[in-house]
Chains A and B, each alone.
Chain A
Amino acid sequence: MGPVEYCLTGALAMFAGVDRVAFGQFMISRPIVVGPLAGLILGDALVGLEIGMLLELLWLGRLPVGAAIPPDDTQVTLGATVLALHLEQTLTVHGMPLVLLCVLVAIPLGKFGQSFDRLARNVNDRFNTKALTALKKGDVSSMERLHLMGLGSFAFAGLATAALIIFFGFLVLSFVAPFLVDSVRHAGLGLQYSLILVGAASLLGTINVNRAVSLFSAAFTGTLLVMWLK
């Protein structure tokens, strides 16, 4: 991995960070998209897809409603993908155990993303105050400039979160991974399923649908039975 790849990853962190709130909301920032993209840059899109899939399902039920700031699923996915593809070379572990380790370390580190996001919005508070003062003087172009500076705050928040996840994730994993890899490998399938399980369950538990459990059970039972019959 050379400097070009790192720069591109940084650019992706900023672009996806901006897509979350500040520009467009094309959903480039969703784990299922950002994971494969980060993977593509670093040479293995499929690892990114695997990580993106796990995290997408985990946070599917979470809604960004109102002023509440959700956990930064974007940078967690990006960070986990970078960690997985980086440590693959140094730790000589690969496949599912490594992916799981990286995801599990990145998720709690992603908590910090919320404070960077809050910081960005606080910085925007200042831009807003300045912009309103400019407007009072009839200075519209200053207001437009200040408004667009918000792109910078959110891009910075995205980059900072990603950098933090990657840096601390790297530290933690370099020390811990050698000890944990074996037990993660043994518990591998169970762990992978536990992530999917938590995702499915939290979607089921929080989704605003009557009879969600009945619908889910019917679909699950029907499908499993059909596959068993086959």
Chain B
Amino acid sequence: MIPDKAIRLKTYLAMAWRSLFLQTSWNFERLQNLGFLFLMLPGLRRIYGQDLPADLCLRHSTYFNTHPYFASMVAGTCLRIEEKQANGIETVIDTDSFKKMVMAPFAAMGDALFWGGIRPIAAMIGLFFATQGSLWAPVVFLLLFNLPHFLFRFSGFWLGYFYELRAIEIIQRTHLPDLAIRLKEMTVVLLGVLCAYLAFKGCNHQEISSLWGFVLLPVVYLYAWIARKGVSSLFLVLLTTLSLLLLSVLFY
């Protein structure tokens, strides 16, 4: 039997690398199941040795689906639980029920924070560079997005491993969903600024007063209302394009 808390830097690095492959075999049947086992393997091998029993592997490859950046935190806790059980220490919860309980809420937090909050605002800031024709645009976007991404992915494991179930209290105190909403509000403000700037540029190009730019505002409202009704942006694009092309054919 190995001593408690035996995870070494080498094990951690292997797991951090493997966390990048969480969704490699994403399938409709069990989603990220193999990815999660793949991520756990270095840790499990550290505890149980090179030859892993079949039932252990099957236990870690049940249905699993969470936000990819949160998976290493789940893996950290699961490994700690596994380690305790291997050493005969009583645990409050087993890995299977732990995974079942956290995967959907963590997915919700990650979707809101990363897909809903950080990515739009990082892209929006990148777009400002893009309107100036600056090739820094993708670099700025990648840096702004990936800093929090790496922070989460690579420190999440230790958070889960050392704090176990109490990690959720720490997460709760950071109010991530509220942070996500703040970020979204900032995105909307920046979108307003960007649209105004583009409208200004458009008016200048046509050599008319930039106050004509306000014409854009009701059109955006109308489109936003239509988009809210569930009409896809593909349809909106095609509709606008065709009508504009028709107009230009008629008038020229």
Q: Do chains A and B touch in the complex (CB under 8 A)?
A: yes
Assess the A189–B202 pair: CB atoms within 8 A.
Answer: yes
Expressed in whole angstroms, the Cα–Cα distance for A140 and B42 within the complex equals: 12
Which listed residue, B24, B191, B226, touches A23 by the CB 8 Å rule? B24
Q: Which residue of B lies closest to A117 (CB)?
A: B26
Residues of chain B in range 207-241 having any CB-CB distance to chain A below 8 Å: 209-211, 213-214, 216-217, 219-228, 233-234, 236-238, 240-241
Assess the B135–A36 pair: CB atoms within 8 A.
Answer: yes
* B109 contacts partner chain A, Cβ-Cβ < 8 Å: no
Q: Which residue of B lies closest to A150 (CB)?
A: B25
Assess the B224–A147 pair: CB atoms within 8 A.
Answer: no
* B87 contacts partner chain A, Cβ-Cβ < 8 Å: no
Which listed residue, B41, B206, B216, B237, touches A104 by the CB 8 Å rule? B237
* B184 contacts partner chain A, Cβ-Cβ < 8 Å: yes
Contact with B along A95-139 (1 / 0, CB 8 A): 000000000100110010000000001101101110110011110
Assess the A198–B236 pair: CB atoms within 8 A.
Answer: yes
Q: Give the residues in chain B near A56, CB-CB below 8 Å.
A: 123, 126-127, 130
Assess the B146–A26 pair: CB atoms within 8 A.
Answer: yes
Q: Which residue of A lies closest to B21 (CB)?
A: A23
B interface majority secondary structure: helix
Which listed residue, A60, A197, A204, touches B123 by the CB 8 Å rule? A60
* A93 contacts partner chain B, Cβ-Cβ < 8 Å: no
Q: Give the residues in chain A near B135, CB-CB below 8 Å.
A: 36, 45-46, 49
Assess the B33–A128 pair: CB atoms within 8 A.
Answer: yes
Would A59 and B200 be within 8 Å (CB), given that A132-B58, A135-B54, A220-B192 are in contact? no
* A7 contacts partner chain B, Cβ-Cβ < 8 Å: no
Expressed in whole angstroms, the Cα–Cα distance for A104 and B119 within the complex equals: 24
Would A32 and B145 be within 8 Å (CB), given that A135-B61, A216-B189 are in contact? no
Q: Give the residues in chain A near B221, CB-CB below 8 Å.
A: 213
Q: Which residue of A lies closest to B25 (CB)?
A: A150
* B151 contacts partner chain A, Cβ-Cβ < 8 Å: no
Assess the A128–B184 pair: CB atoms within 8 A.
Answer: no
Assess the B130–A204 pair: CB atoms within 8 A.
Answer: no
Assess the B130–A52 pair: CB atoms within 8 A.
Answer: yes
* A80 contacts partner chain B, Cβ-Cβ < 8 Å: no
Assess the A30–B252 pair: CB atoms within 8 A.
Answer: no
* B47 contacts partner chain A, Cβ-Cβ < 8 Å: no
Assess the B206–A151 pair: CB atoms within 8 A.
Answer: no
Q: Give the residues in chain B near A1, CB-CB below 8 Å.
A: none
Q: Give the residues in chain A near B127, CB-CB below 8 Å.
A: 32, 53, 56-57
Which listed residue, A71, A135, A187, touches B58 by the CB 8 Å rule? A135
* B248 contacts partner chain A, Cβ-Cβ < 8 Å: yes
* B5 contacts partner chain A, Cβ-Cβ < 8 Å: no
Assess the A32–B126 pair: CB atoms within 8 A.
Answer: yes
* Minimum distance in angstroms from B107 CB to a CB of chain A: 7
Assess the B244–A219 pair: CB atoms within 8 A.
Answer: no
12 contacts between A and B (CB under 8 A): A22-B21, A32-B126, A36-B137, A37-B138, A129-B29, A135-B54, A147-B35, A187-B245, A201-B227, A209-B188, A212-B188, A215-B192
Given known contacts A53-B131, A187-B247, A219-B193, what 17 new A-B pairs fall within 8 Å (CB)?
A: A45-B135, A56-B130, A57-B127, A66-B107, A146-B34, A149-B25, A180-B245, A193-B198, A193-B202, A205-B223, A206-B227, A213-B224, A215-B189, A216-B191, A224-B210, A228-B210, A228-B211
The residues of B with any CB-CB pair to A shorter than 8 Å are: 20-21, 23-31, 33-35, 37-38, 41, 51-54, 57-58, 61, 65, 68-69, 107, 111-112, 115-116, 119-120, 123-124, 126-127, 130-131, 133, 135, 137-138, 141-142, 145-146, 149, 181, 184-185, 187-200, 202, 205-206, 209-211, 213-214, 216-217, 219-228, 233-234, 236-238, 240-241, 244-245, 247-249, 251-252
